């Protein structure tokens, strides 16, 4: 079984709809992250959480919100989706110790907003 799972893997929605992307992990890590990737570009950090009570904005948080329901679950919401939020979304985890910058990524969710 995958250590970091994301649901759904693909989603097509319409402008103005609310949508939630979910991430679960079995690695026991405290730290979780949401990134988006646009074609030909690197990943940009949306939100990150260092523990259940900690939520921080990343580079591009406008139009997004998150919820850390438990150590293992971190959800990303688009309150009112717009076409330029069409992208590949990745969830990642890290344990915050040892190798500082080592993150473990999920398989990604491909979101299309029409």
Partner 1 sequence: LAKTTQPISMDSYEGQEVNITCSHNNIATNDYITWYQQFPSQGPRFIIQGYKTKVTNEVASLFIPADRKSSTLSLPRVSLSDTAVYYCLVGLMEYGNKLVFGAGTILRVKS
3-state secondary structure of 3: coil
- The strand pair at 109-113 and 10-13 is best described as parallel
Site track 26-65 with partner 1 (rule: CB under 8 A), x = hit: -----x-x-x----xxxxxx--x-x-----xxxx------
If one asks whether residue 105 binds partner 1 (CB under 8 A), the answer comes out as yes
Q: Assess contact for 37 and 107: CB atoms under 8 A.
A: no
The nearest distance, CB 16 to partner 1, in angstroms, is 27
3-state secondary structure of 85: helix
Report the interface residues with partner 1, using CB under 8 A: 4, 31, 33, 35, 40-45, 48, 50, 56-59, 88, 90, 92, 94, 96, 99-108, 110
């Amino acid at each position: 079984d995958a250590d970091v799972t994301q649901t759904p893997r693909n989603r097509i929605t319409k402008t103005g709809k609310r949508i939630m992307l979910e991430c679960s992990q079995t690695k026991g890590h405290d730290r979780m992250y949401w990134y988006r990737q646009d074609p030909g570009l690197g990943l940009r950090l949306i939100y990150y959480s260092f523990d259940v009570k900690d939520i921080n904005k990343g580079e591009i948080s406008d139009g997004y919100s998150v919820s850390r329901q438990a150590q293992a679950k971190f959800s990303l919401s688009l309150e009112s989706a717009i076409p330029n939020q069409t992208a590949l979304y990745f969830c990642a985890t890290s344990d915050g110790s040892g190798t500082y910058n080592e993150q473990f990524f999920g398989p990604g969710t491909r979101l299309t907003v029409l």
